[in-house]
Chain A
Amino acid sequence: MELHILEHSLKVASIAKEGIQICTHGLIKLAFLPSKTRCKFFSLTETPEDYTIIVDEDGFKELPESEYLSVADATWLALNVVSGGGSATSSQPIGVTKIAKSVIAPLADHNISVFMLSTYQTDFILVRERDLPMVMHTLSSEFTLLRVVNGEAVAANSTGVTNGFVKPKLVPRPIIHPLSSPSNMFCVTSLDPDTLPSVATLLMDVMFYSGGAKEAAGQSEDSGHIRFFSFSLIEGYISLVMDEQTTRRFPNNVLFTSASGELWKMVRIGGQPLGFDECGIVAQISEPLATADIPAYYISTFKFDHALVPEENIQSVIGALRTNESTGQ
């Protein structure tokens, strides 16, 4: 297996709902006019609380300074696991599940805080830049580490890593944070970048005007619905996460749908904002899922984490997580 350390230096920011109009110009440029910026990594996730933006340094310049914009102080690097060989077994553990044991758990063991971003195409594991030597040290046994420089992957050796690191504590990971599962179902999809202009206005409507007349935020919360939308444009690839109702607003043949037409349900992690320093949260969720061989998407936002699991598995997921919760207590 290869672990690519991508060259983007990422910022994680949050824009308050009421301040979104200040930032729309920059966000539209980042999302729909990629040729006008040098940004290669852009992700926007809307939750009921805020908008979470993950963007590289070039893209960050497009955002105005504002009191509504809060930025996590660290610079983040994205890691990407590539199956170096075609040797994957036919039963495919999807997404986070696949890397839970090999990446997420070891990082948690070493007290490294991670920030997850799953897309239609792949999973990105964001780590703080200052943690990189530790990350490389931790993962070098399992992976071929490659660092991407100017688009080409070159071997990265974890030199300078010696003793002095904390010994991993191999303890069971109980689930600490409260979980909730909204009732609406989600689609993880993508579209051809060439067709993006034709649906741009619709996407803008979904992104920025969702809290308006159509559905009152309070009402949707009451009925167990959650407002959740994610758009990312990373190295030319578009990935979308939206609920089933929203997909119906798109014309036929624009969104990529899987042959099996799968739908996903969400598990939301956290009662209080999680912050960036606590580690092991992703591992707490993903490890039980990996054990049960349930595919999952995982999207971290500024305040909470979100895991997506196949709708038919939601009960067993909740069951599995509850078990874990109880053993922890």
Chain B
Amino acid sequence: MSSGYKPDILWSPHHADRYVICDTELSLYRIGPSGSSETKAGALQLSEETAATLLAINSDTPFMKCVAWYPKHEPECLLAVGHTNGRVVLTSLGQSHNSKSKDLAGKEFVPKHARQCNTLAWNPVDSNWLAAGLDKHRADFSVLIWDISSKFSPEAVPAEKVRLSGDADSGLLVTKPLYELGQNDACLSLCWLPRDHQKLLLAGMHRNLAIFDLRNTSQKTFVNTKAIQGVTVDPHFQDRVASYFEGQVAIWDLRKFEKPVFTLNEQPKPLTKVAWCPTRMGLLATLTRDSNIIRLYDMQHTPMPFGDEVEPTIMERGVQPCSESIISSFAWHPSAQNRMVVVSPSRVMNDFTLFERISLAWSSTTSLMWACGRHLYECAEDSGQAAEAEKDIATKMRERAQSRYGHDTVQVWRNHVLAGGDDPQLRSLWYTLHFMKQYTENVEQKQQSNKQSLIYSGIKNIVKSSSGTTETRRCWSGSDRQTDVPRFHSEERSLALQLCGWISQGPDTDVEPFLKSLEQEGEWERAAAVALFNLDIRRAIQILNKGASSEKGDLNLNVVAMALSGYTDEKNSLWREMCSSLRLQLKKPYLCIMFAFLTSEPGAYDGVLYESRVAVRDRVAFACMFLNDAQLPRYIDKLTNEMKEAGNLEGILLTGLTKDGVDLMESYVDRTGDVQTASFCMLKGSPGEVLKDPRVQCWIENYRNLLDAWRFWHKRAEFDIHRSKLDPSSKPLAQVFVSCNFCGKSISYSCSAMPHQGRGFSQYGVSGSPTKSKVTSCPGCRKPLPRCALCLMNMGTPVSSCPGTGKADEKADLTRDKKLAQFNNWFTWCHNCRHGGHAGHMLSWFRDHSECPVSACTCKCMQLDTTGNLVPSDSV
């Protein structure tokens, strides 16, 4: 243990505030808060809060090699000191008036042949027993167990041979040990085994660890190893023992004592002390020579015993209790959690508490927990602030899932309302999908399938295929002036305008319905701009006037209307000059682009096209009207790339549900993490290649996992159904089959071979109709199916407690009750005891019972089902 010159530290077993430092003398210290009145001027500061006071010094034993503190309360400061010559002396500190310690103090235990005493250990229960481990002697034992209550040297030792050196009072000398163990061997360390205090002793012998049973000393269990120093038992796990050799610590399991269960990483320098933390499970502290770092090994999560094939999970870290000085020794505080005192070779002491690793856990519903030491903290979102700050995407997705976001397949645009209706990108996305769907449906009605594939591939591709563009010059409606603004028409361009939502289906290219709907929604500026772009300046002015006079209307719109009415196409007019410069000061983007349009040269509409505050669909529609065949694809390509890079969902209009669209969605998911929108959106894509894209599959799987993690199992099932409708390839294959015990054939298989009997075994017995035979026997071999453990009827018989199902026709509308009733008839059994029956019966049984319904079967079936006790957190 200590080499005699470097100070070691020893904590009192019963007084949490006392410890002893031993080097050439023993010094007893009391530790207390540094500010308290008790502490005198001479107190040594140990940390910011604590200080130590020297209570007593004992310098009677200068040749000490090792020290052990008496484990009982009384006498309280009795220490056994092992000397370099093998003698063990009992001594006391600061308790000279205590009569009981007086009896014992000064007592000496002398081995027959002198050699160094390496270690001492008191028996924790029979505290009269003190085990001493000595170096080897050719003719003597190395483990001596002394009885401190024995008074005289036994007569077995011939009186004439006892030439004791110097001591007069032989009454205090004991030369006959209670037990002698380990001949011709050295004992470097020992400890009593807590499992059987009185009988078992573990000793690090010369080249092996040995367990001695004192009831039969000729019997010992031993294992050959080098790691024989510092044997110590984990106080929290009595079969776990640590020992070391040079730089390596070996951990042993006494139940599997043949070899170490594992060894810790070897240190470059030899170890000097290894100690289990008394206050924390599985924490081992080690110290190497001339080091200022204490290494800690956390074995809390190491299973004991574990198989050879598993790598032990041990967390290693180092702590540096005092910055520079090297550590001579350390001692754990017996009760304060993770606290220790370290001492340097110059006897500078330091009190410090080890900070516990913090482990964090996020729940799937955004709450956060962390554990530190024995404390558990929960971190909840501050609801007051959460309303103001933008919610986390997980919270949003959860709320959206609850509002059935994505499931409105009729009015597709409504999904953005289900999503909360406050995200312009989602709004644009769902409108785009809505228009695509609408167009597809119309086309289907007209049997024009040639453009159907094109519609989902986005405006980018539509425009590319454009041909036969015609150019018209129209005059301003409501004005007889001729304009020189060329407008372009083609079939594809009008298709694009439809997708943008400006015009509706068919040959009718009137924007009036669109303007009306915009007016209804109060988007006055946008409506005015759209009207203007359709060269109807009067309508635009009218809209602006309407907007100004409406509720909460902006009176400035009147001013804008006035400015608009002054439009002149003279190139050098004052109006033009002022408008082109002042328009930049307009806050509303649509007003701004209106004047940009009016003041631009034909074909040079950058002021409109690159106004990023204007919705993409409006800019694209504008481009489709006023850019020629050369400019348009270039603009669309540029805008598409911009959208893809930004992950802007408005760009889906351009990319469609193509590979480009997946690229765009990828950068959207990268930005937001919104796999929900991505999954629903991509499911709409009819081309199979998009759905086969691994990224899309990944989003879908992640969304499903999220739903499962939230315990939204019904939502997940609903999503799966939705998915299988849109993507037939995702339909799961049958995963569960019931096979007959007798012939081994699948019951459901043979059933599906007979088409009139339904689709699967789940429908067995559902048909209560008397004309159909109940299937209570195997269709293959005609042997009866097993009986339900509760109703004792053969499986296949419908559950008796559901009389309604008897009359219902199989093909009737599958109401919820009906579906549940079907499930009640399912086969269910425990994988452990193999008992089971009707699912409905089993469910109701296990609502009140934990054991199997079969008498004499004690299987706790329901507890074996780890998910059986989970409740879905969504409603059907």
Contacts and interface: CB of A to CB of B under 8 A. Distances in A.
Interface of A: 4, 81-88, 92, 94-95, 118-123, 146, 148, 150-154, 189-190, 192, 194-195, 237, 253, 256-262, 295
22 contacts: A85-B218, A86-B141, A86-B181, A87-B218, A88-B183, A92-B139, A94-B138, A94-B139, A95-B139, A119-B138, A120-B113, A121-B138, A122-B138, A151-B245, A237-B136, A256-B86, A257-B85, A257-B114, A259-B112, A259-B162, A259-B163, A259-B164
Interface string B158-187: 000111110000000001000011111110
A258 B207 CA distance: 25
Contacts of B185: 82-83
Contacts of B63: 253
Contact of B224 (A81, A94, A146): A146
Contact of B114 (A123, A151, A258): A258
A151 B207 contact: yes
A257 B116 CA distance: 11
Contacts of A86: 141, 180-183, 212, 217-218, 220
B741 to A, nearest CB: 54
Given A237-B136, A259-B112, A83 B183 contact: yes
B183 A153 contact: no
Tell me whether chain B's interface is mostly helix, strand or loop, or mixed. loop
Contacts of B113: 120, 256, 258-259
Given A122-B138, A256-B114, 11 more contacts: A81-B184, A86-B218, A94-B139, A122-B136, A122-B184, A148-B207, A153-B207, A192-B116, A194-B4, A258-B113, A259-B110
Nearest to B110: A259
B835 interface: no
A81 B138 CA distance: 10
B552 to A, nearest CB: 91
A150 B246 CA distance: 13
Nearest to B184: A83
A237 B224 CA distance: 21
B115 A295 contact: no
A259 B180 CA distance: 16
A256 B115 contact: yes
B805 to A, nearest CB: 75
Interface of B: 3-5, 63, 84-86, 110-116, 135-141, 161-165, 175, 180-186, 206-208, 212, 217-220, 222, 224-226, 245
Contact of A153 (B112, B141, B224): B224
A253 B114 CA distance: 10
A230 to B, nearest CB: 14
A152 B225 contact: yes
A311 B84 CA distance: 27
Nearest to A122: B138
A118 B138 CA distance: 9
A260 B163 contact: yes
B85 to A, nearest CB: 6
A237 B134 CA distance: 12
A150 B222 CA distance: 19
A256 B110 CA distance: 12
A194 B2 CA distance: 12
A259 B111 contact: yes
A108 B219 CA distance: 33
Contacts of A118: 138
Contacts of A259: 110-114, 162-164, 175
B177 to A, nearest CB: 12
Contacts of A257: 85, 114, 165
A94 B219 CA distance: 22
Contacts of B186: 121
Nearest to A258: B113
A85 B163 contact: no
Contacts of A88: 183
A256 B86 CA distance: 9
B576 to A, nearest CB: 98
Contacts of A121: 115, 135-138, 186
B135 A237 contact: yes
B397 to A, nearest CB: 60
A148 B225 CA distance: 11
A155 to B, nearest CB: 9
A258 B208 CA distance: 26
Nearest to A80: B184
The 6 A-B pairs of least Cβ separation, nearest first, read: A256-B114, A261-B163, A94-B139, A260-B161, A87-B218, A192-B84
A21 to B, nearest CB: 33
A146 B86 CA distance: 29
A157 to B, nearest CB: 15
Contacts of A153: 207-208, 224
A195 B182 CA distance: 26
B161 to A, nearest CB: 4
Contacts of B111: 259
A103 to B, nearest CB: 13
A85 B138 contact: no
Contacts of A295: 139
Contacts of A4: 207
B840 to A, nearest CB: 66
Contacts of B183: 83, 86, 88, 92
B262 to A, nearest CB: 17
Contacts of A189: 114
A124 to B, nearest CB: 10
A189 B222 CA distance: 30
A112 B136 CA distance: 28
A4 to B, nearest CB: 8
A152 B207 contact: yes
Contacts of A256: 85-86, 113-115
Contacts of B110: 259
Contacts of B206: 82
A258 B185 CA distance: 17
A152 to B, nearest CB: 5
A237 B183 CA distance: 16
Which of A121, A194, A295: most chain B Cβ within 10 A? Answer: A121
A261 B164 CA distance: 8
Nearest to B62: A253
Nearest to B246: A151
A256 B83 CA distance: 11
Contacts of A151: 207, 226, 245
Given A83-B184, A85-B218, A152-B225, A120 B138 contact: yes
Contacts of B165: 257, 261
B205 to A, nearest CB: 9
A203 B749 CA distance: 97
Contacts of A148: 207
A82 B217 contact: no
A94 B208 CA distance: 23
Nearest to B114: A256
Contact of A194 (B84, B135, B184): B84
Contacts of B224: 146, 152-154
Contacts of B86: 256
A254 to B, nearest CB: 9
A148 B208 CA distance: 12
Contacts of B3: 194
B207 to A, nearest CB: 5
B166 to A, nearest CB: 9
A92 B113 CA distance: 13
A38 to B, nearest CB: 15
Contacts of A81: 184
Contacts of B175: 259
Nearest to A148: B207
A258 B84 contact: no
A187 to B, nearest CB: 11
Contacts of A94: 138-139
Contacts of B218: 85-87
A120 B186 CA distance: 12
A63 B4 CA distance: 33
A250 to B, nearest CB: 13
Which of A118, A253, A257: most chain B Cβ within 10 A? Answer: A253
